[in-house]
Structure 1
Amino acid sequence: MFYIQHTLFVRWSLVVVWCVALMTETSTLQAEDKQSRQSAAHKDARLVDGAGKCSGRLEMKCQGEWRALNIRNTGRQHSFWYAEVACKQMGCGSTVSITQSTNVTNLPAWEVDFVCKGSESTLKECRNHRTRGMQRRVNSTYSLQVICSESLRLVGDSEICSGGAEVKSDQGWDSVCEDSFDSETQKMFCRELGCGPPQNFRRRSPKINPSLFKQFQCKGNESRLEDCVSFMKEECRQAAGITCSKETDLRLVGGETLCQGTLEGKQAAEWRPLEDGWNSLKPEHFAKVCGKMGCGGFISVSRNYLPELRPVWLTDCETSSSFCKSWRGTSSNLVLAVTCEEDTTLVKGPNRCSGKLQVRSGQSWHPVCYSFFSLEAALVTCRDLKCGFPENDRSINFTRSPVFNCAGTEKHLRDCPSTPISATEEMLQECDEVSLTCTELPPAPYINIHNVQGSEFVSTYPPKVFKGHRFAISCTVDSPYSVLSIRLKSHIGTDHPNEWIQSPHDKKAVFIFPVAEDAHQGTYQCDYNLNFSSDIFSQPKFISVQVEELNNVRLVNEETECAGRLELEDEGEWRPVSHRHSWSLKEAAVVCRQLDCGSAVSTRRVERSAGLQHAWRFYSDCDGSERALTDCGTVKKWPSSSAVQVVCSGILLQPNISLFYTMRELSDYQPRNILLSKGHGFSVTCSVKPQYPGGYFSIRFNQAISISQPAVNHTAHFMFPAADEAHTGTYSCVYVNFVFSHNFSSESQSLSVKVEEFLEVKLVDGVLREDDSEFCAGRLFVKYLNSLLLLSAETTVWDMKHASLVCRQLGCGSAISTKDIKLPKKELMARFFSDCDGSESALLGCGTVLPWFSSSAVELVCTGHQGGADKN
């Protein structure tokens, strides 16, 4: 039994033994052998998928295979010791942070069975009370993420977060120049060492040492000190000692700067995102977070969802304004993203986007004086604070020699080249502090409507422009900043808005519209963008425009609106227009066009019977093509005994056209398109309202004058006995009269006429014609509206005369007989009304039908072709 137990123990020991059998050390090893092994120790441990060799996921190599360490069930303090030994083994200094990371997929891992104390030089020196080794291969979503301090340190003090600043180089550790150790570099040092924001800065030596020093130029948005611009300098003042606040338990990670990102907390050396599961965190809590980060005021927080669960700290702050410490480990896919102000803030204002400007230097905040500021710096400040754009303030007198030499395109105020605030501290005693108010967008411009003379329509609302007139819309920007372009848009809210863009002249753009039309009516929007932010347009300014007919001219004292003495309205007063040198047929043509009276036939001077009276003197710039008289001229009050007479081509009223067919006027039913049956007679009537006596009418058929008749009582009738295909075409009436010593004409609307062979009568159930295309005997059907109805026998006018008319219309010879037939019940039929003498060519050419209920119908028999038989 003892042998069996001993054998099992040996086999179990082989399972859990270290993968590398030679890792056992003895106390008799020589120092140089130990140092040799330690120099090669990092070959079986590494940090991967990090920013460099000193950060990333901790992995170990066993049996030639690299796997992560699965230490999810290890205490947090022990996890920190693993990281401490790993940083030491990598030659990367001390541990800055550890995170128990949750991977999206399972990773190959070693399940460890050893514990580190933190004093070991390599992970293989770590062991537990029984053994040292890996238990087995596993797949795990958990891994240990480690960040080591590899390039900098604070020395000379007992405190970990205080001392002289040194950076690592190929030659060892170098001091830092005091000139480059500004607030941004201090902040990078403290953060990278896992400490809080810098608290104070003290000069180490007043002497300049002839040695190599490192000089940095950090902007503050770098993630690590090594990302800052740096260079070596032979002579400079040795860097100051720095004291950082104690190791912070909060940080913002993953953002563009140190003052924004996912909020994480550290508990028992483990960093995890914080989740506000009970929505207990208030703005005052996040303000404390921003203070801990050494940032300015709190800007915003958002709750972001991750694709997978990961370890988090669940917080519950109740009502305390200090940041809560009641954290509980759990898993969640919800994290908090916080944004704080960087190195700029506005204080003592109604909101965080308005107030007195302060900037940070080290851990101190200083006011900014107007004499140190510029327009461009104001623009950058509002952008830096995520508050948009500065409001216009004409009381600000910015100078040309600011501390902040901004171009206006910088994202943060700290990105502007600047003079240190301390260099002007003696001037701060008489500082006129900058007060700044930011808005989401640049302020709206001014917008105005101008008529052709350039005056603004300020007397009416909404502004009016007149059809045919030129008008303009001006947009003016009141901004101290350089304007890139000004934009005007119309048809706002439609699928196809109109848009015009101009480069400004003296910060103003004028958009000219040569002729106002109905399409110009609506709402217009004006906005602009600045040279510094071309992709963002300002707040818009709107104006509504009405387009109306301009009724400021008239022709009076005649029988028509298109001839007579010219009068014009201006300033609400109608006056005749005096005949002066500038008046000609060109101006008369504009008047006729404005009155929609055609072209100008004549214009002349006429004397006023009362002698010298009030009139308008017209000053012209017309070429005759304008839409309105005041679009090309202007008037002034003038006493005159003369006036202007204008005669336009459109003085005659438009005539009417009517077509009559089968005793009905068809123009009322089909005013544009009329269908006539072949063989039927029709007539065209032309008429005009009484205006001038005499004159004559002509029928225009297919664009050619065909026949004419004198106007009798302002009317003429044109008869067409039988319609055929030649009558198909377009008809209109042309009225001609001789007045004002000229022949004038006016044309009606046109009618389209089509002539077709359409049978309005039909015989059913009888003898076929010779060509077998129609029946020549049977019950008689007649057309009513768009259908055929049986003809009722209940009529007193039906006889052989009408029967022969039907046979002749059908081409079936003459009538043999006609009679009544009885039906089993009453049904809808047609009752015939006649005015026929028997010689007509069509039954409905001399008669008409109306609907009727009857139980008897008309039957007739025609001769049909020669030798045709009666099939009744």
Structure 2
Amino acid sequence: MDLRALMLFLGFCSSVSPAEVRLVGGPSPCSGRLEQQHQSDWEPVTDQNWDWNLTAADQVCRRISCGSVVSLRRTLDQEPPTDVVTKYDSRAEVTPVLLPVRVEITCSDSVKLVGGTHLCSGRLQVKWNQVWSSVCSDGFDLQDAEVVCRELGCGSPSGFKGKLYGEAPEWNTEFLCGGHESGLLHCDHSDRDTCSPGTTITLTCSDPGRVRLVEGSGRCDGTLELRNWGEWKPVDYPDWDLWSASGVCRELDCGALVSTRRRETSSVDTWKFESDCNAMYLFQCDTQHETSSGVIEITCSDSVRLENRFHLCSGRLQVKWNQVWSSVCSDGFDLQDAEVVCRELGCGSPWRFKGELYGEAPEWNTEFLCGGHESGLLHCDHSDRDTCSPGTTITLTCSGAMRLVGTNSTCAGELQMKVHAEWRPVVDEDWYQNRDQNWTSVVAAVVCSQLKCGSVVASDVEDFGSKRPVWWIESSCFQSAASLQNCLGLTDVYQTIYSLQVICSDLLVQPNISVSPSHDEVQQQKVKVVMGSNFSIICSTRPQYPGGSFQLVFTSSSTTFNYVLPTVTHWAVFLFPAAEDLHRGTYTCIYHLNVFSYNFSSTSQSIYLIPSAPLMDLIIRLVVHLLVMVLLITVTCFYFKKKTLSVETRSRNEETNVLTDLQ
């Protein structure tokens, strides 16, 4: 039965009347063999091509009002040693015949999680008197959550909290579970009939019950195993990549992917996924039983993640504390903190980070005080701050670990990426299959952007001459620059003679500009030269490639001139015989070079040149100014002295006249 047929019989196609389905032969109407009604007859649903998965089974449970799916299995009408049996036809020839494969589903008849990101998360509802009711969050505790997760086959609880949902919960009674009960409605409960207005419980279980990591240091590290039809087996995946591996970490609520690899083993029974599965969670993919010589190993971060459904190295930063994931306040978050996060997640260096509003306040308000060298964010020192600007959480994008090598520039060469401390060349699988050059330009554009090397100039696939281990990348899966890491394939056996070469526009380093002689230190890109003297403007660049030329651009308030000289050992000297006021203005060096059959240029910083008077002129002017000042002071003093003497003489004469009159 294919997915289109599934949609038809579930009534998802508006042009077709909804078909009826039921579960029969089980202990309840919510468990048993799946049947579909055709006209007045009921017929078993077969799964000959193994198209059924847990998501489809969950839709059946919800359609018949039986909560969430607990298990899915396939059975044969008989019990032969394999799925293939033989019989003799009328011509006495042995003909292989596939027996019908029946679908059996078990649903939870009394509890379900709705509106979550996967089958084992969402708003908790219980069924009472054939009515589904949301559950009040008041008094809901860890023991209650353990019973729900176990009842749904979803492992253990990883987080739960009350949320507002616009309408009051219909189920207000408080559960009093001990944690050992087989079902939530088997727990004792109180007679409470009130609830805080509009608060219902949302729950996330740590393990959808279908994947696990074993033989590692903890539940977030080890060999990947999948449970299918009640049987646990290791997993092998022909097209394993970082995005697929990160899906396991998401399913286990283990934060971000740290590393994954395919380990060679002796012949083992494994589950293999179809290579074209792109579901959000691995247990939603179709699987096949197959003998393999390799298994998948995964290590997840159990303490930090970037919350984003589509990008491994970009998203809202969250940390895990006491088994609860909390968004991080943006106040005080700096470059050193970002460097630790990106390195911890194997995502290169920080590209950008900022605070954003998310409607609800961050739960993690403590400020990190990283030095930038720590191995993990929670290993950093932190302050005791417990407040945060309202609703601001940090979002972070890391560059991804990549480089261009083999030339004298960091913006041209063979593309290599680092995964699990190993650098390898990268080959575009879409190009390899179709030999379509357009795919390589897609990869190259992302690389130039992430390396801050401008725009892509050229990209090509070259023959290295001998086979080397490479990382495969699928350019057709790109959604943005940050998703480059998502599309990286990790199967170890890929070796090829090809490698992807990329040339970006910012190929050349920035040239330098200087003035000689300069009698003052350059301040704010301004420099003075002596009026009437010779001066030179020197353009230079770090040795990368031979040849090229320098263009000196002069701009004043009234005119613009260009001077061009070829480079001599990466230098060019522009000589000016006598500085005049007309030389006042802005000067810029532009380095031009033809390399790899393309023309490139790079521009220096600009300086502003100011012609000034010679030193002797300045001294003479200073002496003249001093003499004038001395003369002015002398004249002023003589004037005031003479005036004072005149006043004193007048006073004495007046006193003499007064004495004479008295006599």
Question: TM-score normalised to the size of structure 2?
Answer: 0.47
Q: Whose helix proportion is higher, 1 or 2?
A: 2
Larger Rg: 1
